[in-house]
Chains A and B, each alone.
Chain A
Amino acid sequence: MAGSVVVLLAVADENAFLGAAYLLTRDAYVLVSRKGKTGRVELWPKTNMPAAALAAAFRREYANQLLRWGLARDGFALRAETLRRALALAEAAGGRTQAPQATLTPEQKAEIAALLAEAEADPGPRDPLGIAQPWEDSRKQR
């Protein structure tokens, strides 16, 4: 096994720091420590990956994790509330799955058929001035 590489950085978010370290466990053995705001990561490569590449990968993942944890924290309350409401709706429905929206019940189908029949029987709006009439038809009448 090759020697280890140490990365030091200012830690703004400990979860992001641990998250980045965790993501590196695929390519390296990882030891983390912290002193004040400074985080220290020691990486022992598992493969032939160069130490510099590992260090760069860790810094990249940390920036990535900072953003992800920030976004996740922002949305926690909203997601929890959405989930609570969804569960309340499911509870109100008796815990059964709802029928897919595209499927119509026989009653709904009969109602739609009746409405269509009614619409077809309707002669439509009156047009005493012949506005809806094509120009050719109105000319023939003259």
Chain B
Amino acid sequence: MKIVKGAVHIKLGKPLYGAEGLAAGALALGARAQVFVDEGKTAFSIEIHPVEALSSAERLALGGEFLNEVLNHEYRQRVVRANAPLTQAVFAPLFARGFPAVPADPLEELEPQVKADRAREVSDLLEQARSMT
């Protein structure tokens, strides 16, 4: 983190840092600064331009606040991912209850030929669509 012509310049390496984290960092600064991001192959280059006139220490503090917020976001995402088995245990039964198996079409149940005709119709339409491309 260094100050060049009044702006705070930071280089953040991938994959420790991601675009979502940078967005979270920029959001934390709000209207106090303009944040510019340039994405390279292995790193992001960030420029933070304070809106108001600030001292060097205040500019570094602004950049530091951005850094900490990005790190906070990245670490939080890691914790969420690591706890996926627990989240899954909670949500799987809820989703299972919320999305029961689709009931069978009564018409197809009564007359198997309807099901066969529909399947053939869908197949023909797909074939027609493929031949158009």
**Residue positions of A touching B, CB distance < 8 A:** 1, 4, 14-15, 18-19, 21-22, 25, 28-34, 42, 44, 46, 69, 72-73, 76-77, 79-81, 83-84, 87-88, 91
Contact = CB atoms under 8 A, between A and B. Distances in A.
B78 A15 contact: yes
Interface residues of B, number: 27
Contacts of B63: 29
A83 B91 CA distance: 11
A29 B75 contact: no
Contacts of A4: 1
B13 A33 contact: yes
Contact of B64 (A21, A29, A69, A87): A29
B12 interface: yes
Nearest to A72: B82
B57 interface: yes
A75 B90 CA distance: 17
B71 A30 contact: yes
Contacts of A1: 57, 60-61, 64
